Amino acid sequence: MAPGAPTPVAPFSHAVRAGDYLFVTGQMPTLPGGGLTLVAGGVEEQTRRVMDNLALVLEAAGASWPDVVQVRVYLTDFPRDFAAMNAVYETYFPPELRPARTCVGVTALAVDALVEIDCIAWVPQT
């Protein structure tokens, strides 16, 4: 478990290392130490919290945003929330360091979240 990161919503690890890759579990818009309560607000606030939670997990594993090579975004209302999610998401990556990404619409997410994001980072073992 990553110190300081929110409690997982189910029985899984925050991240798993496989060789030089770090597979980070989809993060929810919940606050560290806040149980399974969603952060207040809409998709913008939820996306910011999810990205901050991903950063906590990456940091605990010795990684950061420039190490991220692939991201998956899940939205419960793709047509309505895609642009607002992107407006927040893009602030975490400079244009020259944007990872590959897939974004999909889903029918529901755990804890009734509007957004969930997972990622894969390349973190060479030393």
Per-residue pLDDT tens digits for 26-57: 999 999 887 888 999 999 999 999 999 999 99
Strand partners, 27: 117
Closest CA to 27 of 42, 45, 49: 49
Specify the pTM.
0.95
Does residue 1 carry a pLDDT above 80?
Answer: no
CATH architecture of 15-122: 2-Layer Sandwich (3.30)
Give, as one character, the DSSP assignment of residue 47. Answer: H
DSSP string, 61-87: TT--GGGEEEEEEEESSHHHHHHHHHH
Tokens of 49: 């919290």
pLDDT per residue as tens digits for the range 95-124 = 999 999 999 999 999 999 999 999 999 998
